[in-house]
Amino acid sequence: MITLYLFIFLPFIFACIVPLLYKYLNRQVHTGWFVLVVPLSILIYLLTFIPAVASGETFEYTFSWIPSLGIHITSYVDGLGLLFGLLISGVGALVILYSIFYMSKVREALHNFYIYLLMFMGAMLGLVFSDHLLAFYGFWELTSVSSFLLISYWYERKSSRQGAMKSMLITVFGGFGMLAGFIMLIMMADTYSIRELIANMDVIQGHSLFIPAMLCILLGAFTKSAQFPFSIWLPDAMEAPTPVSSYLHSATMVKAGIYLVARMTPIFGGSPVWFWIVSGVGIITLLYGSLTALRQTDLKPLLAYSTISQLGLIMSLLGIGSLAVYFGPGESGTVFTVATFAALFHLFNHSTFKGSLFMVVGIIDHETGRRDIRYLGGLMHVMPITFTIALVGGLSMAGLPPFNGFLSKEMFFAAVLDVSKAGIFGLNSIGALFPVIAWVASIFTFVYCMIFVLKTFGGKYHPERLNRKVHEAPIGMLIAPMVLGLLVVLVFFFPNVLGKYILAPALTAVLPMMTVSSYDLKISAWHGINYELLMTLGVILLGGLLYMAKKRWLPTARKFPQGWTLNHFFNEGLLSAERWSASLTNRYMTGSLRHYLLYIFVFFVLLLLGSLLWFHGIRFDFSDNAMINIFDAGLVICMVISALTVLLAANRIVAIVALGALGYMVSMFFVIFRAPDLALTQMVVETVTTVLFLLCFYHLPKLKRTIERISFKWTNLVVSIAVGLTVTVLGLSANGHKLFEPITSFFENSYKLAGAKNIVNAILVDFRGFDTMLEISVLTIAGLGVYVLIRQRSKRGKEHEAE
């Protein structure tokens, strides 16, 4: 158990060490060499699970966080989690190796880069191995935060800041929706465990919150995996360094939504709403991404939209595969089980060929200083190894043999053909659109793959258009994409090794109700002459013709009005919201402290006193009250006199002393009520604050001896009386509405429960420990913020002096 948690949190532990390594060793050795140990160690550890998981075993590890309250953090290793864990650690290791040669240790703040990258890696590992819903959500949002930091790594660029902000707004918005869905699931099944939710899916499916929970969870999945119409954040996220794009936006982060849909398929999969939303949004995203990719001239946005398209393909396969839950074990269920298998297969394939293509773009940018295909061409002659890697990745993405993308693309065609004949959920009529849209989108996919490869590496070489003298990339930068490219080829020739040991166990996790092991899910490159092969041949033929005629139609496609794009609507909507909020804020942010206090107090009175009147909550019960003695009355009179003195004093020292006297009177009440701890605390606080007031009084410049008279305002009098009346009525009504037994007897037993002789300290430290800890955390964060601001100011002052 300890070993798994150690490897999950290893990236976080190492992130704390990176600043020291960077500070003392970066001049001698690139920091990335030390960071590379982390994903390699995790990868080797996860590889040891493959034999057992392939044989059907699963592993559960529970960490007791608060045993007395039954709060535990449970990690669960099954086929699906292991598949994602291997991708996270394996691709992560290659990305870090690539970044060692891509990121300059002289010009870049590498400690920040690797801290953010390790944070993201740890968050993804925690996400895919979490069985606890709230732990899952915590890691989910941590991926959004760490990706925000990575996208804005070059924060001096406005485009990087805007891209990071857009990704944060959209993904965190979806995360809040997902949290609402999780809370509904917890309410329905009374458990935080994903596995127990699956075991109680009959109860969940018959609940009135079933559809709302489904929609909220899908909102989180679609925003994270850049599905239409939430896909606009992914192209802007390409402002991140290329290793980040290769890791987050091809292999890991964008697959988190895919993981969520796959994990929730056993619960929601038999519903027609789930099928239509998941498969429908997926197929639309596939078409949208492929069409939009054709309009791009920058290589990174082209790959970004191609990623959106491929994510839509995987999502549509998961939607189609969910029909296996509806049909259950049997011949029909078997057909759609293959669709889920194809989704997992293409997920792996996409991580390999897209990761290598992003690295190729980084190499081109690094060596030529250009990413615009209008300035590139003929690079195959000067960069033959890079061209070979690009050719392998591009043809695999286009779905051509002998590369792994061909195998999963054929399975995709088979799945859309099968769903068109399913005969349920209205597919008899509208189901024909699935193979048509899939085929058209695949044609456009073929075209943009050819544009990527041939426009960049083919044609005539124009060195005068480039910013640098071009040569082949150093071998260190080529190793990582070469490994991924080699996997693309090896998986084509040995697909069933991957299928037996990695994909089949993952399929069992997605569809636990199906006896998957009894089905023949062997992957083959040749199935004879069938519709899938004819569709592929049609893609090649029509795609080739469109590519050759691109000069006639592609310029028209690239002139698509920017005002009609989703990105434009989002940006304009955000700007309009900012302008409207600024206009509204300027109306009430007048700079007057009196106005601000009026807003607060009026809202306070309307909300609380209005609620008491609306819900008939005003009730006074004085039957159990103690008698008011002469000491109580005397203290109250003294407090009133002190308060009036503060208001009417003509001298500030008199006002400060009266304010302190008022506090001491309150402490005397604590003495009468036999609360010496509170009395002592109150006296200490009053003494310190009075001294601080006097110190501030002493240091204030040009301080007048008397307080300026403030003109009388009826508004102030009415609001102050209303606030006092509200607080009084609220306190008396609360005393008259004792619906439950008071908990004072519980706290009085603090010595036995917490071993504390001081009941106030016991309440603060033990019984309300988390509340106190969070308060201290807030103060610590605020203090650190003040310290950073002061340090930045002093640093800038020294720079100006040096100038």
Domain positions in the chain are: 2-213+226-510+520-558, 560-589, 593-739, 745-803
What is residue 1's predicted lDDT score, i.e. its pLDDT? 52
Return the DSSP state at 75.
Answer: E
508 neighbors 79 (Cβ within 8 angstroms): yes
Rounded-to-integer distance, Cα 230 and Cα 174, Å: 9
Residue 410 belongs to what H/E stretch?
A: helix 404-419
**Range name among 262-266, 458-462, 721-725 with the lowest pLDDT average:** 458-462
What is residue 42's predicted lDDT score, i.e. its pLDDT? 94
Task: Work out the pLDDT band at 518, boundaries 50, 70, 90.
Answer: very low
List Cβ neighbours of 302 (8 Å cut-off, separation of 6 or more).
Answer: 293, 296, 373, 448, 451, 452
Instruction: Give per-residue burial for 41-62: e unless 16+ CB within 10 Å, then b.
Output: bbbebbeebeeebbeeebbebe
**Range name among 283-292, 551-560, 770-779 with the lowest pLDDT average:** 551-560
Q: What is the pLDDT of residues 224-279, one digit of tens each?
A: 999 989 988 998 888 888 898 889 877 788 899 999 999 999 999 888 999 999 99
Q: Whose CA is closest to 57, among 80, 42, 77, 84?
A: 77
In the numeric block, which tokens belong to residue 462? 């124009």
739 pLDDT above the threshold of 90: no
Q: What is the pLDDT of residues 323-363, one digit of tens each?
A: 888 877 766 777 788 899 999 999 999 999 999 999 999 99
Q: Whose CA is closest to 245, among 356, 348, 158, 140?
A: 356
Rounded-to-integer distance, Cα 228 and Cα 521, Å: 31
Rounded-to-integer distance, Cα 214 and Cα 192, Å: 16
User: Coil, helix or strand for 727?
Assistant: helix
Rounded-to-integer distance, Cα 419 and Cα 423, Å: 8
In the numeric block, which tokens belong to residue 392? 């392998």
Rounded-to-integer distance, Cα 483 and Cα 96, Å: 13
Return the DSSP state at 516.
Answer: G
74 neighbors 60 (Cβ within 8 angstroms): yes
Distance, CA of 520 to chain centre? 37
List Cβ neighbours of 223 (8 Å cut-off, separation of 6 or more).
Answer: 170, 171, 173, 174, 175, 177, 230, 257
Mean pLDDT calculated for residue range 630-639:
85
In the numeric block, the tokens 């990719």 are attached to: 293
User: Coil, helix or strand for 803?
Assistant: coil
User: Coil, helix or strand for 193?
Assistant: strand
Over the chain, what is the mean pLDDT? 86
C-alpha dihedral over 160, 164, 169, 173, to 10 degrees? 150
In the numeric block, which tokens belong to residue 418? 């099968």
Rounded-to-integer distance, Cα 273 and Cα 279, Å: 10
Q: What is the pLDDT of residues 8-48, one digit of tens each?
A: 889 999 999 988 888 787 677 888 899 999 999 999 999 99
Residue 784 belongs to what H/E stretch?
A: helix 769-802
**Range name among 26-35, 252-261, 510-519, 725-734 with the lowest pLDDT average:** 510-519
What is residue 86's predicted lDDT score, i.e. its pLDDT? 94
704 pLDDT above the threshold of 70: no
Count how many residues are written for the chain: 803
409 neighbors 532 (Cβ within 8 angstroms): no
What is residue 781's predicted lDDT score, i.e. its pLDDT? 93
Rounded-to-integer distance, Cα 402 and Cα 346, Å: 15
What is residue 602's predicted lDDT score, i.e. its pLDDT? 92
- DSSP result, 625-645: PPPP-HHHHHHHHHHHHHHHH
What is residue 706's predicted lDDT score, i.e. its pLDDT? 52
Q: Whose CA is closest to 132, among 285, 297, 8, 306?
A: 8
In the numeric block, the tokens 């001294």 are attached to: 691
CA atoms within 13 A on the CB side of 301: 16
702 pLDDT above the threshold of 70: no
Global confidence as pTM: 0.82
Q: What are the phi and psi torsion angles at 253 (to 5°)?
A: -55, -50
What is residue 703's predicted lDDT score, i.e. its pLDDT? 46
How many other CB atoms are found less than 10 A from the CB of residue 231?
27
Q: What is the pLDDT of residues 79-124, one digit of tens each?
A: 999 999 999 999 999 999 999 998 876 677 788 899 999 999 999 9
DSSP lists the bridge partners of residue 101 as none
Rounded-to-integer distance, Cα 190 and Cα 200, Å: 10
803 pLDDT above the threshold of 80: no
What is residue 176's predicted lDDT score, i.e. its pLDDT? 94
305 pLDDT above the threshold of 70: yes
DSSP lists the bridge partners of residue 157 as none
What is residue 412's predicted lDDT score, i.e. its pLDDT? 94
